[in-house]
A and B are shown apart, each in its own frame.
Chain A
Amino acid sequence: MKQPEKQCEHMYLPDLCGVRTVLTLVVVAELFVFVLALGTPAGSDVDRWTRLGLISLFVQWITLFSSSLLCLARRHLCRLRAPGVTLVAFAIILGTTALFSELTWWLYYRVVFHHPHAWHYDFLARNLLVATIVSGLVLRYFYVQQQWRRNLRAESESRMQALQARIRPHFLFNSMNTIASLVRAAPDTAERTVEDLADLFRAALGDERKLIPVSEELALCRRYLDIEALRLGERLQVDWSLSPLPDSARIPPLCLQPLIENAIYHGIEPRTEGGRLVIRAEADDRQVVLTVRNPLAGDGGDKGARRQGNQLALANIRERLAVHFGEAAQLRMGEEDGCFVVTLVLPAAPPAEEALA
């Protein structure tokens, strides 16, 4: 039973084959019956308790019958989207209601009371109308509940992903290993590396909604590259080409660093001979352009195997840029002369409302 459930995640109807759901439905239906019974003044043709019993019987029949039909149809319903599911559910419930109304009318009014045509169509129409309203309410409730659950899950997932996009476990543990190697042989370097790592993590764990000067982000990238240089030794070469940047230029923290990390992960680490990263920053009155260039992985590299975490990191950067700058910021990537080039374009001055925030 696990398999169909898994494919059925988008479906908003709960599993109506489950005992708990059925019990809940029965209780809700019974409460509704009480409302109906209480709504009629005393002194009608039958006494109140009999009436309650008869309506219960009628309503529970419809509830249980239509929920078991929906339970049976669940596997097929999974293939439909929400509007389709709603239509089918309505059809099943109204069909069931019509069927039992006819049966009831025939049994109760014809066989028991011998009223040949009394209120036949009125009875049917009233039942269908009530069924439409009540099942509409119930379906709406299921839908809202499922949306709420889905939002909750999406939110916690995206929080986790945002954190992972900024702190890569891979980098953390590799750095720890580097420090462990350095402690005895080169205590000074070890000390500096701990400081660099602390700065990076302060930025990663800090408020990601705040903007920092681009120059500060570049300093963080330098710290990061210092750590990676220890690990990769001669295999990593970095060319910096930085033009003077306007002081007003701002960036969400750790937007450039993950791009450099990707460049190392995909462009330097898989290559036995290593390679050269080129990091460039240029600015004019309107915008700041940051580019990171790395050699393509080449033979034996993981050309096809782009990590999923990598995509998440890029999506996270895009999202943060969009939140702050809208269309004014861009993240582009592509191949150029045997290199992989990522370009980050930022406005030279952040929009005015950011100053207020």
Chain B
Amino acid sequence: MRILIVDDEPLARSRLAALLRDLPGCEVAGEAGNGIQALEQVQALEPDVVLLDIRMPGMDGIEAARHLSTLETPPAVIFTTAYDDYALAAFETCALDYLLKPIRQERLARALENCHRLTRAQLATLQQAGARDGATVQPEARSHISARVKGGLRLVPVEDICFFHADQKYVTVGYLDGEVLIDESLKSLEKEFGDRFVRIHRNALVARARIMGLEKDREGRCRIILRDCARRLEISRRHLPDIRRQLR
């Protein structure tokens, strides 16, 4: 069984590595110091199991697990933490296994025997609970959006995103370096990022901070001008007064 260790503290990683060395059939595939590194390593090394610390800088463990679950063959995840009482309560409610640091070897062995992939429902509960108290690093919303592209997972930082545009089955994410497709609903995105993105049409959300102005096209429809974004999305009549008010 190949295992990836993810923890921001070098000493915590080395202890886990030492514990795993003594367990038969276990092999440390690699180590990562934060969520973003963890996603890179998972794609490069394809481990069977990820031991994932919850509180980490950059991207916390709970968000990393959410992105991992979008992979085609996600690894099993076991969370580790020293002390996060609210997150732990959420773990209990969605029947997730977690390890409390300092981790006992027999407890680790048992967790590795029983580990399995996380379901989306479990992850959603976790994210909400982690957000409520700020015991985890991230506020409620993710710091990145993950999209499956050829050759792996692309992480788009939320601050780079200009718009979400729904298009039949998928949502197009327009960001500084281009566009990617994701399999999420505008409604859930609006709920998660409501403070940063505003709805301008039944099929579009745009970054509030990037709104520069409005223009009218030849047919008299209103379109929005976004900073660093060539695409001019249409504003529906229903949302127009709202956007005007924000521009003032």
Contact = CB atoms under 8 A, between A and B. Distances in A.
Interface of A: 169-170, 172-174, 176-182, 184-185, 230-233, 269-272, 299-302, 304-308
B57 A177 contact: no
Contacts of B102: 173, 176-177, 179-181
Contacts of A169: 83, 85
A305 B14 CA distance: 30
Contacts of A300: 57-59, 137-138, 143
Interface stretch (B4-12, B174-182, B215-223, B236-244): B4-12
B11 A182 contact: yes
Contact of A270 (B85, B133, B137, B159): B137
A308 B8 CA distance: 24
A304 B132 CA distance: 12
Contacts of A306: 134
B15 interface: yes
Interface string B18-42: 1000000000000001100000000
Contacts of B15: 177, 180-181
B137 A174 contact: no
Interface in B134-167: 134-135, 137-139, 143, 159
B138 A181 contact: no
Contacts of A272: 33-34, 57-58
Contacts of A302: 134, 137-139
B109 interface: no
Interface pairs A-B: 5 shortest CB-CB: A305-B134, A181-B15, A180-B102, A173-B82, A181-B11
A296 to B, nearest CB: 14
B139 A271 contact: no
A307 B101 CA distance: 21
A177 B7 CA distance: 12
B82 A170 contact: yes
Given A173-B83, A177-B82, A231 B11 contact: yes
B67 interface: no
Given A302-B134, A302-B139, A307-B134, A181 B59 contact: no
B101 A173 contact: yes
Interface in B34-69: 34, 55, 57-59
Nearest to B37: A272
B55 A307 contact: no
A172 B85 CA distance: 14
A166 to B, nearest CB: 16
Question: Which of B15, B34, B57, B100 has the largest number of chain A CB atoms within 10 A?
Answer: B57
Contacts of B11: 177-178, 181-182, 230-231, 233
Contacts of B134: 302, 305-307
A269 B135 contact: no
Contact of B14 (A181, A299, A304, A307): A181
Nearest to B140: A305
A272 B59 CA distance: 9
Contacts of A231: 9, 11-12
A307 B55 CA distance: 14
Contacts of A305: 134, 139
Interface in B76-105: 82-83, 85, 100-102
Contacts of B58: 272, 300
Contacts of A177: 9, 11-12, 15, 82, 101-102
B135 A307 contact: yes
Given A169-B83, A302-B134, A307-B134, A232 B9 contact: yes
B139 A304 contact: yes
A57 B233 CA distance: 80
B155 to A, nearest CB: 12
A174 B143 contact: no
A230 B34 CA distance: 18
A230 B15 CA distance: 13
Nearest to B7: A177
B99 to A, nearest CB: 11
A6 B227 CA distance: 49
B82 A270 contact: no
Contacts of B34: 272
Given A170-B83, A302-B139, A307-B134, 18 more contacts: A169-B85, A172-B83, A174-B82, A178-B12, A180-B101, A180-B102, A181-B11, A181-B12, A182-B11, A232-B9, A233-B10, A269-B8, A269-B57, A270-B137, A300-B57, A302-B137, A302-B138, A305-B134
23 contacts: A169-B85, A170-B82, A170-B83, A173-B102, A176-B101, A177-B11, A177-B12, A177-B101, A179-B102, A180-B102, A181-B11, A181-B14, A181-B18, A230-B11, A233-B9, A269-B57, A272-B58, A299-B159, A300-B57, A301-B137, A302-B137, A306-B134, A307-B133
Contacts of A307: 133-135
A173 B88 CA distance: 14
A232 B100 CA distance: 19
A172 to B, nearest CB: 8
A19 B172 CA distance: 63
A184 B18 contact: yes
A68 B9 CA distance: 63
A229 to B, nearest CB: 11
Contacts of B100: 173
Nearest to B139: A305
A173 B99 CA distance: 13
